[in-house]
Amino acid sequence: MAPAGDREGYWGPTTSTLDWCEENYAVTWYIAEFWNTVSNLIMILPPIFGAMQSVRSGLEKRYIASYLALTVVGMGSWCFHMTLKYEMQLLDELPMIYSCCIFVYCMFECFKMKKSVNYHLLFTLVLFSLIVTMVYLKVKEPIFHQVMYGMLVFTLVVRSIYIVTWVYPWLRGLGYTSLGVFLLGFLFWNIDNIFCDSLRNFRKKVPPVIGVTTQFHAWWHILTGLGSYLHILFSKEIKPVDSKGNQP
């Protein structure tokens, strides 16, 4: 996390419960964390085009919802890092939970016949989202959000490994690529948190063009955005199979 003493800018004092390692208002007076903000474009623009292509191709609504959910996460994260306001933080973090629930639904319904709905799973995920939302609004503890998000991601990882190991081994390349890219982003997220003081001191000593490459929370956005996009492509490749393991 960022040390205390960052400058103020257009959006006034920070009210969010988190303030990341990027120096506040260092690039422009109008954006609190410039690189952490613009790096969200990868979670906004490609999923919009993906949703549009899914509509044109007549794909199921769950895939369109996945793309749009990723876009909402990117837009919320943009607002959060631009302002460092608590309300915008919620606009970032809560959609992370909702979008992951959509991904979980898609992965557990990947073998279903077209246009059927698993209302039990849908109800469970909606209830989970509501409980997480209510508790998080009450406790305002980022660790709680991170644990709940981690549980959903872990569920996706286990389900994906099962699919590429036992059902569709020919999808291992795409499945493991999406997982590897996402985990690399998670590694950078941890480096940014643990070594923030060292990273800031390093950036003071090097030209800005080099210093920007150490904005590891921005890399977290880029890599997890790419990993999530690849995960949606992975889920789209999975088709129902019959009792003999053949696609209808």
DSSP character at residue 58: T
On whether the CB atoms of residues 76 and 91 are closer than 8 A, the answer is yes
Q: What is the crossing angle of helices 86-108 and 119-139, to 10°?
A: 160
Rounded Cα distance between 125 and 120, Å, is 9
| DSSP 8-state code for residue 194 | H
CB–CB of 175/122 below 8 Å?
A: no
HSE (CB half, 13 Å, CA atoms) of 20?
Answer: 29
Tell me how far CA of residue 4 lies from CA of 26, 29, 149, 246, in angstroms: 15, 18, 27, 59
User: Can you tell me the distance from the alpha carbon of 197 to that of 28, in angstroms, rounded to the nearest whole number?
Assistant: 22
Pick out the residues of the known binding site for Ca(2+). Answer: 19-20, 22, 24, 33
Q: Which residues are annotated as a binding site?
A: 19-20, 22, 24, 33, 81, 217, 221
Q: Binding site membership for Zn(2+): which residues?
A: 81, 217, 221
Strand stretches in 7-77, DSSP E: none
Would you give the end-to-end CA distance of the chain in angstroms? 51
